[in-house]
Chain A
Amino acid sequence: MNFLKKIPSRDQITPVYAVIVTMIYSWSIVFFFWRLPSLLFYSTIGEIGVMFAYMITADFLDSLIILILLILLCLLLPEKLFFNRFSTKGVFLSVLILAGIFSYGQYYRAESLALLLQKTLLAGLVFLILAFLLDEVQFVRRLFEGIANRAVVFLYLFLPITALSVLTVFLRNLF
């Protein structure tokens, strides 16, 4: 029971998820608009909309993966370490993880899974420590709290788009 109580509340999760969604969706949407001129070469508006729906569905799953990772971390780590002030530590950690993934994608080189796991664990540990340290700096914490709270507004935009996209993908594959 205590274990389940370590799941952060919705108020704590929302700003963290908002930051995750804003980063992931923005990343993909930039790519989408970069590709748009070529899509217009051979696709109708409807088809471009369907491609957007698939992309947003993938983004939604991406965002859930990061969020679930953070919640799992919250369950596994001692309460003092992560559960307390989950919203700010979660924001720090998600920003660091996504920045790490984006830069990994940029400098991606084919490598073995073992090496990748080592790098991931090392990066994860560094990110975790950084998140704790940043959380101790009041100015940075407030800055990120402010950003996270403002990012919530994007949820009102992205979540309905996500619902529509997931529905589109489901319907196209059911019938």
Chain B
Amino acid sequence: MTEITRRDFLKSMGALASMALLPGVASRLGGNFKQGTNTSKPNIVILLFDAMSARNLSLYGYPRQTSPNMERFAERATVYHSHISGGNYTIPGVASLLTGTYSWTNRAINHSGVMRRDMVSHNLFNAIGSDYQRITFPQSVWANFIVTQFLNDVDTYLPPGIFSELDYLLFEHFPNDANMALRSLDDFAFDITQLPVSPVMGTIQRALYSRDSAQLPSYGYPNGVPHNVNYPLRFRLDELFAGVNSLVKDQAGPFISYIHLFPPHSPYRPTHTFFNQFNDGWAPVEKPVHRFSDNASDGKVRNARRVYDEYVASVDLELGRLLDSFEAGGVFENSYVILTSDHGEMFERGEIAHSTPLLYDPVIHIPLLISAPGQTTREDIHAPTSAIDLLPTLANIAGQPIPDWCEGALLPGLGGEEDEERSVYAVEAKSNPAFGPLNQATVAMRKGNLKLIYYTGYEAEESFEFYDLQNDGEELKDLNPDNPSELKRMKDELLDTLDRVNKPYTR
């Protein structure tokens, strides 16, 4: 018999009340699950972990055992070793993944991630088509800035707080205008990180959230329960993954679920199982502090890395349980299960986390593992791939044509071929207006094992860095001063590409 806790009861009552008051909520919150019509099509489960760097996963050779369960999953999946995110934070990362276009095209380049208005229908859910039950659970509020623009193509939208201990997000109560409500209320009038713009209700909300947060039991989390510091949302990993488990297992096919989990995004909150687990004296390769970094001290950077690794391991443990449950429930038999991230995290060169103009591999190299229905062996792909490649690949899997607006290519091993000559990009341009050319930006371009990083608008002169990742995976020896012949070719290509994407916005 399932035990119903007081919190479950309160949540049910809350959901019932909101369904009664706001009929639109009912369909969004799952009261309107449509039955699958075509069971021959495979299901698609996208599990995205916010801010999970491939460079910190033992799966990809990291010395700390942070991801044994991912390694286990890899034995039945295609593992992409050079998968690049669309940018170094959630907005461009998610927008690239869900639209199959780079952020310089879809223009979700800065805070709040508003897409180009004429491109809102250019999204994964639209490309997959209505044969599929299209479910989204963007637990990361930043992912909501993107996903809430696509609600016309989504059948079931689950709000960030649905599997949480506590949430005071307001936009969930405005299902017909979720994106604007999110931007107007949670991100502005009731922003918990600044003086309340709404002096009375905003102050009351902060006081109540603070009271409720303080009362939450933090057992199992020596540093406190995971939460979002920018938005009023607190959760526990076990409850979150239990919710995801029920969400996936209870679906009738065919369905696609985009599940964007907030962990291991900062603040890092390892469980007691992994707390201090990596206090092991291990130190990464020393790297010089970058002139554009926050100049954080070595000690701070090293400590942040350790706690992050412990949090990643905590997430991996829950992931292992989830995958075991998928196995027992037969999910793998008829589903593509995809593990990935929206961007990485860096702990080097004086920088912590990902709010940075830098685009070194730790912040853009993300995991991608895809397990096809019934797959029992591992396949490894080493050619560079991009987040924008998921959309065409999934459209193809769903039996739909690849949209002509899509900039991605079919992933190798899933209809595509490994192409060492193809260029893939990551873009950081949050200081630019969405309606103007990229005047201050960092662009990383990857071609085979070569990587070019271009900085423009930060200093009087633009600058380049050039690395050979095959021989210098840590990006320590900048080959730019040596000026090899490949460099000129890549520079020209990158600058031509930037000219092209800036053209519509240049007067």
Residues of A within 8 A of B (CB): 24, 27-28, 31-32, 35, 38, 40-44, 47, 50-51, 53-55, 58-59, 61-62, 65-66, 98, 101-102, 104-106, 108, 110-113, 116, 169, 172-175
Cβ-closest chain B residue relative to A51: B184
Name the A residues within 8 Å of B202 (CB-CB): 58, 105
- Complex CA gap A1/B110 in Å reads 59
The answer on a CB contact under 8 Å between B189 and A105 is no
B208 interfacial contact with A, CB 8 Å = yes
B231 to chain A, nearest CB (A): 15
* B433 partner, pick from A42, A51, A55, A106, beta carbons under 8 A: A42
Partner of B197, one of A31, A47, A66, A173: A31
Q: List 29 A-B contacts (CB under 8 A).
A: A28-B189, A28-B198, A28-B199, A31-B197, A40-B433, A41-B432, A41-B434, A42-B433, A42-B434, A44-B117, A47-B180, A50-B184, A54-B180, A54-B184, A55-B188, A55-B197, A58-B189, A58-B201, A62-B199, A101-B203, A105-B196, A105-B203, A108-B203, A110-B213, A111-B210, A112-B211, A116-B207, A169-B177, A172-B177
Whole-angstrom CA separation of A112 from B200 in the bound complex: 18
Tell me the smallest distance from the CB of B440 to a CB of chain A, in Å. Answer: 12
A122 to chain B, nearest CB (A): 15
Question: What residues of A have a CB within 8 angstroms of the CB of B214 in the complex?
Answer: 110, 112
Question: Contact between B198 and A58 (Cβ–Cβ < 8 Å)?
Answer: yes
Tell me whether B195 and A38 are in contact (CB under 8 A): no
With A28-B189, A101-B203, A113-B207 in contact, is A50–B195 under 8 Å at CB? no
Do residues B111 and A98 form an inter-chain contact, with CB atoms below 8 A?
no
Report A172 CB to chain B, min CB distance, Å.
4
Q: Output the least CB separation between B230 and chain A (Å).
A: 15
* Cβ-defined contact, B210 with A110, below 8 A: yes
Extra A-B contacts (6), CB below 8 Å, given A31-B195, A108-B206: A27-B197, A28-B197, A98-B199, A105-B195, A169-B177, A173-B174
Partner of A65, one of B114, B177, B200: B200
Chain A's closest residue to B209 (CB) is A110
Instruction: Mark B126-162 against chain A: 1 for CB-CB distance below 8 A, else 0.
Output: 0000000000000000000000000000000000000
* B181 CB within 8 Å of chain A: yes
Q: Does B34 contact A (CB under 8 A)?
A: no
A172 to B22, alpha carbons, bound, how many Å? Answer: 13
Asked whether A42 and B110 contact (CB < 8 A) given A35-B188, A105-B199, the answer is yes
CB distance from B438 to the nearest CB of A (A): 13
Chain A residue numbers with a CB within 8 Å of B208 are 113
A/B pair count, beta carbons within 8 Å: 108
B189 close to A42 (CB less than 8 A): no
- Is residue B185 contacting chain A, with contact meaning CB distance below 8 A? yes
**A61 nearest in chain B by CB position:** B201
Name the distance in Å between A46's Cβ and chain B's nearest Cβ.
Answer: 10
- B22 and chain A: residue at smallest CB distance: A173
Which residues of A lie under 8 Å from residue B183 when comparing CB positions? 43, 47, 51
- Are A66 and B210 interface neighbours, CB within 8 A? no
Please determine whether B200 and A55 come into contact, CB atoms closer than 8 angstroms.
Answer: no
> Which B residue sits closest to A53, measured CB to CB?
B184
CA distance in complex: A98, B202 (Å): 13
Q: Are B203 and A104 in contact (CB under 8 A)?
A: yes
B121 at the interface (CB under 8 A from A): no
Tell which of A35, A51, A65, A102 touches B180, judged by Cβ atoms closer than 8 Å. A51
Counting CB contacts under 8 A, is B112 at the interface?
Answer: yes
Residues of B within 8 A of A42 (CB): 110-114, 433-434
Considering the complex, give the chain B residue whose CB is closest to the CB of A54.
Answer: B184
Tell me the minimal C-beta distance from B116 to chain A in angstroms: 11
Instruction: List residues of chain A with CB within 8 A of the CB of B200.
Output: 24, 61-62, 65-66, 101
A173 near B177 with CB under 8 A, answer yes
Bound Cα distance from A28 to B201, whole angstroms: 12
* Shortest Cβ distance from residue B189 to the other chain A in the assembled complex, whole angstroms: 5
- Does B423 have its Cβ within 8 Å of any Cβ on chain A? no
Is A43 a contact partner of B114 (Cβ separation < 8 A)?
Answer: yes
CB of B456 within 8 Å of the partner chain: no
On chain A, the residues within 8 Å of B432 by CB distance are 41
Question: B203 touching A54 by the CB < 8 A rule?
Answer: no
Q: Is the CB of A65 within 8 A of B201?
A: yes
- A84 nearest CB across to chain B (Å): 27
| Interface residues as binary, B364-378 with A (CB distance below 8 Å gives 1, 0 otherwise) | 000000000000000
Contacts of A38 on B, CB cut-off 8 Å?
111
Of listed B117, B183, B185, B214, residue having the most chain A CB within 10 A? B183
Q: How far is the CB of B15 from chain A (nearest CB, A)?
A: 18
- Chain B residues with Cβ below 8 Å from A54 are 180-181, 184-185, 188-189
B277 close to A (CB within 8 Å)? no
Please measure, in the bound complex, the distance between the C-alpha atom of A65 and the C-alpha atom of B200, giving whole angstroms: 8
A53 cross-chain contacts in B, Cβ below 8 A: 184
Query: When each residue 163-193 of chain B gets 1 if its CB lies under 8 Å from chain A and 0 otherwise, what string results?
Result: 0000000000010110011011100111000
Q: Check if A172 sits within 8 Å of B201, measured CB to CB.
A: no
CB distance from B457 to the nearest CB of A (A): 15
How many whole Å from B53's CB to the nearest CB in chain A? 27
Complex: A172 Cα to B184 Cα, angstroms: 13
Contacts of B206 in A (CB 8 A): 108
Sorted from nearest, which 9 A-B pairs have the closest CB atoms?
A54-B184, A62-B200, A113-B211, A42-B434, A110-B210, A58-B198, A172-B177, A51-B184, A31-B197
| Chain A residue at minimum C-beta to C-beta distance from B195 | A105
Contact residues in A for B174 (Cβ distance below 8 Å): 173
- Chain A residue contacts of B196, Cβ below 8 A: 105
In angstroms, Cα B437 to Cα A130, docked, is 57
Rounded to whole angstroms, the CA-CA distance of A4 and B211 in the bound complex is 36
Determine the distance from Cα of A111 to Cα of B197 in the docked complex, in whole angstroms: 20
Q: Which residue from chain A places its CB closest to the CB of B208 in the assembled complex?
A: A113
Collect the chain A residues with CB atoms within 8 Å of residue B195's CB.
31, 105-106, 108
